[in-house]
Amino acid sequence: MPELLDLAGIFVFALSGALMGVRKRLDVVGMGVLAEITALGGGVMRDLILNVRPAAFQSLGYVLVPLAATAIVFFWHPHVARVMPAILVLDGAGLGLFCALGTLKALEYGLSPLHASLLGVTTGVGGGMLRDVLAGEIPTLLYDRELYAVPALLGSGAMAGLYTVGLYGWPATLAAALLAFGTRIAAMRYKWRAPLARGVTPPE
């Protein structure tokens, strides 16, 4: 079940990467690269920091699922774009799951709660950051006007806090993931935005 949930999150992230490729008018190779980077980048960065073999290189599914998402977007991107609101909801669920699991893995490898939380955020937003850099966009992590990194930080912090007081396992992981997911959905629903520096007006 954990691997199936992981693959589901990877699939949704890969869809967003492939759609970015369509918007940038990239060919199928470029779409595939963005899909793979978006889906796997955060987890690979986490595992390299932990000095362990990345999970993406231990299972064939981790590579094939983003390719399947690329194929779907390649042939049916107008239809995929039309259901983007639903995809964003699933993306929020993937964000919550990835940041909670990333934090938990870091804690199990002996990192402090603070460092584990930061690594959990990296797991959740790292792939999207790499996607944006490759696509020539300002990374969401640096311009969090849609509250993406903030929910990841809340979920990761909650996971670290629960682990510190002796609460872990699937109930704690689910609670942390739901906190990140709920914050992300509320931000989308009510258009919450991270504040800019004093006196700076947001772009149109």
Residue 126: its pLDDT value, please? 93
59 — pLDDT class (breaks 50, 70, 90): confident
Cα Rg of the chain (Å, integer): 16
**Positive or negative torsion for Cα 76, 79, 84, 86:** negative
Residue 1: its pLDDT value, please? 55
Question: What number is the average pLDDT over the span 53-82?
Answer: 92
DSSP string computed for 82-131: HTHHHHHHHHHHHHHHHHHHHHHHHHHTT--HHHHHHHHHHHHHHHHHHH
Backbone angles phi, psi at 200, to 5 degrees: -95, 130
Residues 34-46 have pLDDT tens digits of 999 999 999 999 9
pLDDT at 141 over 60: yes
Q: Give the least confident one: 113-117, 137-141, 152-156.
A: 137-141
